[in-house]
Structure 1
Amino acid sequence: MMNAELTPLVEVNQQNIALVFCDYLKSKKIAAQVAQSDKGYVILCDRELHDHAKALFEAFIQNPHHDKYQQAAWHQGKVTELTDSNDNLLTVFKRNFLAHAGMVTLTVFIACWLVYGLSVFGFAMDMFNSLKFYSSLSVESVLSAPHRLFTPALFHFSLLHIAFNTMWWWQLGGAIEKTQGIRHLVLVFFVSAIVSNVSQFYVSGPNFGGLSGVVYAVVGYVWWMGYLMPEKGLNLSKPVIGMLLVWLLLGFVDLLPVNVANTAHLTGLLSGCFLAYLYSIRHKQAQNK
């Protein structure tokens, strides 16, 4: 509950814009919250600091995807309440969870948790044998069961494993789908799943699983899109990028307490970076025609 008296500052039609700026105001010690209206989302701020908040918004709207705004959102680390206080926490969480994720993001998310749930209830070996990579990679094996090229990404070995992977998938996959559409996320998912699975197979054999290769691909894609085409609205803060790259490095030097598919992580990251680079090149070529 905020003690400051709040007054409407501005109304916007994009939920993410309202949430990011609200978090930025909080990082500046200005009380703020977002309320849903009939036409969009109203940002409320401290009445006494209204003029200062207005000046900050005018600067924000010129470049809403600047790193400082995204970092403020990360530092807040909580969901902003969008409606009145009659909504319980679960209702608010579901609304925000679904608002951030599109059809592809949710489909992969649900598929991973469905497979994990069946594994927990006694079907682990059945699920793994149905989804695992080929014992021997050949044209014949691919033609007979093409789904095995990507389905190892849906199988996870522990609660921590699936929680970590699906959290990042929801955050970054959802951002890609919301800003660039279904087609781009589908491409990133299938290309990175196939590339990371094939490369991991050649290094360690068929006994692996998890969405990690795809997760590192969406990390690479968002990272490079933010660098190459920041106007598209995809970016990742440097501390987060640094943390994930350090985790990747620790896996290669064998300092992690769990078995890690290092090759899948690396090739997934590279495939995501490459897809972002390829998109930027094709976009510039189309503009020059």
Structure 2
Amino acid sequence: MIPFAQLADPKMAERITQELNKQGIQSSYSYDEAASIYTLVVEDQANFEQAQDIFRVMMGLPKKFEPSKEWEEIQSIPMGIVTKVTIGFCILVYVLNAFKILPELYSVMKISSSSNGLPEIVSQGQFWRLLTPAFLHFNFMHILFNMMWMKDLGKIIEHEKKSNFLMLFIVIVGIGSNFSQFLISGPNFGGMSGVVYGLLGYLWMYKKFNSNAQFSLPKSDVMLMIGWFFLCLIGVFSFSIANMAHAMGLTLGMLGGIFYGLKDASGSYSLKKSLLYVFLSLSLPVLTYGVEIFKVILKTKT
């Protein structure tokens, strides 16, 4: 007999053992007079965890947390060189800025020193400025949030598509999300979140269009990030958020995931499904632009 729980209420002990036996788990209980406690036991060790879960539910407690299969698979993947270098460089830039070790670093890495155009890029050929805002982070929670997602999402793509693919992905999505954010808010922004949303969008769509993909994101992660996107967009939080960078990153990632998902899939594909998700992805920056303009109009009227 394997004990799995103890309680003082005889009626509850009886109810739980009856429920376990009803579900085919051989169970009983005994009373310890000295301790005034009832001990519940199962006959088979294989039923131990299931009995504990049933006990917790019947006592009004949550089940023991168990990581999803997808999460466990993701954690088993080693980080590739591009993922490591990206995270390391972001942390280095953050430390240098936070402790003012290189005071001029921010002005060198921001997309432009002017809100009226991109004079450094156009006249001086400083093309790196299109990408480098992605490596700027302004507080600890900002960089922590982005690097945690970069670690998990980046290594999946690097594992499946190799380092060169991820490096090119970061460059394209980073430039696209940075430039779109600049057009909306000017040059004072930064962060890897546009790229993070791109990684999310890619993996989300890649699995939808290629069922043979080795890894898939837990649905809870997708829902969390999409929910966060809309909470930020409608202005629930008081701090500044690069919503257009999020939207454009997600769009570019989704389009990439659709393309490569269809390319790598072995079977036939649904044209209707493809067009639906392409439309959905393209609508995100349009929706974001409309909401951002609406918020500006509201602000000018107050």
Partner residue of 2:12?
A: none
2:106 corresponds to 1:128: yes
CA-CA distance at 1:73 after TM superposition:
5.3
Q: Which residue of 1 aligns with 2:257?
A: 276
Local SS of the residue matching 1:133: coil
Change (3 A) 1:284 1:171: closer
Q: Report the counterpart of residue 212 of structure 1 in structure 2.
A: 193
Match of 1:193 among 174, 190, 194: 174
1:133 Cα deviation from its structure 2 partner: 0.2
Q: Distance in 2 between matches of 1:269 and 1:147?
A: 22
Q: 5+ residue gaps in structure 2?
A: 1-43, 47-65, 269-302
2:78 maps to: 100
| 1:140 Cα deviation from its structure 2 partner | 5.4
- The Cα offsets for residues 232-276 of structure 1, whole Å up to 9 and x where unpaired, read as 213112111111111100111100232110000011001001111
Deviation at 1:281, TM superposition (A): 3.6
The 1:221–1:149 alpha-carbon spacing in structure 2 relative to 1, beyond 3 Å, is same
Q: Which amino acid aligns with 1:126?
A: E
- Using the size of structure 2 for normalisation, the TM-score is 0.61
The partner residue of 2:226 within 245, 258, 268 is: 245
| In structure 1, distance between residues paired with 2:73 and 2:158 | 22
Q: 2:97 aligns with which of 107, 110, 119?
A: 119
Conservation of the 8 A alpha-carbon contact between 1:70 and 1:236: no
Q: CA deviation at 1:139?
A: 9.3
Q: Secondary structure at the match of 1:181?
A: helix
CA shift in 2, pair 1:48/1:70, >3 Å: closer
Q: Aligned residue for 1:234?
A: 215
Equivalent position of 1:164 in the other structure: 145
Number of the residue aligned with 2:243: 262
The separation in 2 between residues aligned to 1:168 and 1:142, in whole angstroms, is: 36
Bigger Cα displacement from structure 2, 99-108 vs 207-216? 99-108
Segments of structure 1 that go 5 or more residues without pairing to the other structure are 1-46, 50-68, 80-95
Distance 1:73 1:200, change over 3 A: same
Instruction: Find the counterpart in structure 2 of residue 3 from structure 1.
Output: none
Match of 1:71 in 2: 68
Question: Could you tell me how far apart the structure 2 residues matched to 1:173 and 1:273 are?
Answer: 15
Equivalent residue in structure 2 for 1:146, among 113, 127, 151: 127
Letter aligned with residue 163 of structure 1: L
What is aligned with 1:109? 87
Deviations 1:190-241, CA, capped at 9 Å, x for gaps = 1110110000000000110000100000010111111111322131121111
RMSD: 2.9
User: In the alignment, is the contact (CA less than 8 A) between 1:176 and 1:234 conserved in 2?
Assistant: no
Query: Take 1:113 and 1:210, find their aligned partners in 2: how far apart are those partners?
Result: 11
* Cα distance in structure 2, aligned partners of 1:281 and 1:139: 39
Compute the displacement of 1:279 (Å).
1.6
The structure with the largest alpha-carbon Rg is 2
Relative distance call for 1:115 and 1:282 in structure 2 (3 A) is same
| Number of positions where the alignment pairs a residue of Structure 1 with one of Structure 2 | 202
Identity rate of aligned residues, in percent?
Answer: 32
Contact 1:200 1:264 in 2 (8 A): yes
Match of 2:282 in 1: none
CA deviations 1:153-196 (Å, max 9, x no partner) are 00100000000001100100011101221122122211110110
Q: How far is 1:124 from its partner? A: 6.4
Q: Which residue of 2 aligns with 1:86?
A: none
CA distance in 1, matches of 2:73, 2:207: 21
TM-score, normalised by the number of residues in structure 1? 0.63
Against the structure 1 CA distance between its residues 236 and 73, is the aligned structure 2 distance closer, same or farther, given a 3 Å change threshold? Answer: closer
- Paired residue for 2:118? 137
1:127 offset after TM fit, Å? 1.8
1:17-32 correspondence to structure 2 within 5 Å: none
- Distance in 2 (CA, whole Å) between partners of 1:129 and 1:186 is 24
